[in-house]
């Protein structure tokens, strides 16, 4: 029962272009969404988050968009840099008694080519 889905296992973009990573969720109780970046042999690093009361949050080169009606969020990275190459995880929390429990997607491997 995957409540958070990242349907693209990998994405390859050219340096300087935009990277768009997508995430879908099924649990309508989720009200807080996060993106994490992970390098091999390291722990996930928090990138950016968005609350369900917003539809956009921006932090430097990173922007997260939330479409609640479609239960979809996306992470835009622009311009993409080779150092952005990593696995990106979408995560969600909210609702019920365990509203601080993060449910993760399976991740998307982003490769930014110089």
Partner 1 sequence: DTAVSQTPKYLVTQMGNDKSIKCEQNLGHDTMYWYKQDSKKFLKIMFSYNNKELIINETVPNRFSPKSPDKAHLNLHINSLELGDSAVYFCASSRQTSGGPQYFGPGTRLTVT
Residues near partner 1 (CB under 8 A):
31-32, 34, 36, 41-46, 49, 51, 89, 91, 93-94, 98-102, 104, 106-107
Residue 83 φ/ψ, nearest 5 degrees: -70, -10
Q: Which is nearer to partner 1, 14 or 51 (CB)?
A: 51
Coarse DSSP helix, strand, coil percentages of the chain, rounded to the nearest 5 percent: 5, 55, 45
Choice between 51 and 67, CB closer to partner 1? 51
Question: Which tokens in the block code for residue 73?
Answer: 């969020």
Q: Do residues 88 and 76 touch, judged by C-beta distance below 8 A?
A: no
Query: Of 37 and 71, which CB lies nearer to partner 1 in the complex structure?
Result: 37
Distance of closest approach, residue 15 Cβ to partner 1, in angstroms: 26
């Amino acid at each position: 029962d995957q409540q958070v889905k990242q349907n693209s296992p990998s994405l390859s973009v050219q340096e300087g272009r935009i990277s768009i990573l997508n995430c879908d969720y099924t649990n309508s109780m989720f009200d807080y969404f996060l993106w994490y970046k992970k390098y091999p042999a390291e722990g996930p690093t928090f990138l950016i988050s968005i609350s369900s009361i917003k539809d956009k949050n921006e932090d430097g080169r990173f922007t997260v968009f939330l479409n609640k009606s479609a239960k979809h969020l996306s992470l835009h990275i622009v311009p993409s840099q080779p150092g952005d190459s990593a696995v990106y995880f979408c995560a969600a929390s909210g609702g019920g008694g365990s509203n601080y429990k993060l449910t993760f997607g399976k991740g998307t491997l982003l490769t930014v080519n110089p």
